[in-house]
Chain A
Amino acid sequence: MNLGVDIGGIKMKNPVATASGTFGYGREYAGFVDLNRLGAVVVKGTTLLPRPGNPTPRIAETPAGILNSIGLENPGVEAVIERHLPYLARFDVPVIVNIAGDRVEDYVGLAARLDGQPGVAGLEVNISCPNVEKGGLAFGSDPDSAAEVIREVRAATRLPVIAKLSPNVTSIAAVAESVAMAGADAVSLINTLLGMVIDVNARRPLLANVMGGLSGPAVRPVAVRAVWQVFRAVKIPLIGMGGIMCAEDALQFIMAGASAVAVGTASFVNPRAALDVLEGIEAYMRDNNIGDIKDLIGIAHA
């Protein structure tokens, strides 16, 4: 049975990755998940300088989902290189660094700094974070500015470049086409959907940052639809994510056109979720006599 996939030059031994911001730097879940068995580990959004993140509450539970407004808390690229990448390098797993910035130059600086860094297999360019004031989503919601970031990052690194797209747009296919033209090797989708909750007793927004990003099972149909549309629009491989809790959810993404999937919020509920998804995909392939995962990618379009 062949589960291997190639995501714009990143060779994954199976199609199951972890989603940025939901799996820490791998260490946090290493007691539950043998990291060697994962298709890839995508680490938390990394910025040039350390970021403290937003005030609390940063998380609210919503129907079958969560809203988060972490605000890209991270120790900055130097600390990630020093403290976290060496740990992950001990495992036989491609590590994808999610990068974020306020300005195009920030992304370029990050791409240049991470180029050639041992243990980095690729960059996921976060142009879709709803939780920071500047940058983030502002880049990803317009095809031209999204393309500008990707073009500059592409020029600054030899690493595979994955554009992470936001669903908070009128046409996600148009943004995908634009970043593909600008040189993206793959796209990840979806980042969280902008949302909010009001605490009626306090008569105030529940999250300190007012708005947050929705994830979990509640967003899955939106995410599957986005993968479906983008698969029809571009030729580069897609990493699908959004509410994947089990193998059946993951298979929906693969059949809609994703070459790989990422497990996010599910890990909070079930620390072993990523491996459970992988084992479930294997079982499905066995039961249905599918010899190669590639035979399932986009099959729902046939």
Chain B
Amino acid sequence: MAGVYNKKYPVVKHEETAPGQRLLCLDAPEIALGSAPGQFLHVRCSEGRDPLLRRPISIHFAEREGGRVCILYRVAGRGTSLLARVAPGDHVDVLGPLGRGYTLPSAGERVAVVGGGIGAAPLFFLLAEMRKYYGRYLDRVSVFLGAHTLEALPGAALIREMGYHLDIATDDGSGGFKGTVADLFREASGNRTFDRVYACGPPPMLRVLAAAVGPGPAVEVSVEERMGCGVGACLSCACRVRSAGGAVEYAHVCRDGPVFNLKDLVL
């Protein structure tokens, strides 16, 4: 595969950003150069044979000039707990960049970016790219982020620093709208129209979102599924899509996604 690398890259930064959430940056120039928003890395969390599999984690940020790629991850289980122990100077075995990412907007389109919980991680890279190439339309971009609590909300300050308008939702009401980000988006889209929506989050959120956006905008969402190989060989990561002919068939998240057009997905 062209432009997919598998190497051990040195850790340049690894820190807790919120309780149970960590930012890990690697010095990986070729990945930084070659990756696009929405793509992911397949990360080996430890050297041993148990846990065995790699873990798929989205690219949170890539600094092309600085040669760094970062992931933002939630410490969820065994693999990510082991990953949480690596320190600057250690090396992490990464396979990537993998998958198909988001299509950037066309000039002047009105854009909504909607992220729930840690699912928002890849949207930062997207926002950074949009700022670079669509800077003069930044005021046409609305960002909606949601989390359980304000504390767990990833990177709100950073998004505002980039110059975006940000609305937030928290389940407990500790910040912004009280409720889910999909509900917040539904309220907001009552008086705003969007040509294009980018989203990332769990299936229930995507279902609410699908109902809220209506048929107008092009909606691209990032999907999660359990993975083996990450490169399209094992067929573990199937997800149901509607083909051009209307029949339901399986696509594969690692190769055909993780970003899909919402209208193609059978949620």
Contact = CB atoms under 8 A, between A and B. Distances in A.
Contact of A52 (B50, B95, B232, B249): B249
A58 B235 contact: yes
A287 interface: no
B49 A64 contact: yes
Interface residues of A, number: 36
A32 interface: yes
A58 B225 CA distance: 9
A266 to B, nearest CB: 9
Interface stretch (A23-31, A83-91, A156-164, A254-262): A23-31
A268 B226 contact: no
A294 B95 CA distance: 36
Given A56-B238, A58-B238, A28 B229 contact: yes
Interface string B225-245: 111111111111111000000
Contacts, number: 98
Interface stretch (B1-9, B122-130, B154-162, B168-176): B1-9
Main secondary structure of the interface of A (DSSP, over half): loop
B239 A56 contact: yes
B1 A268 contact: no
Interface residues of B, number: 29
B52 interface: yes
Given A53-B238, A56-B226, A272-B6, A29 B51 contact: no
B205 interface: no
A59 B227 contact: yes
B14 interface: no
A68 B49 contact: no
B54 interface: yes
B44 interface: yes
B234 A70 contact: yes
Nearest to B253: A56
B238 A24 contact: no
B250 A28 contact: no
A232 to B, nearest CB: 29
Nearest to A208: B238
Given A59-B237, A265-B52, A271-B229, 12 more contacts: A24-B234, A28-B233, A29-B233, A56-B226, A57-B225, A59-B234, A68-B228, A73-B235, A216-B49, A217-B49, A267-B229, A270-B6
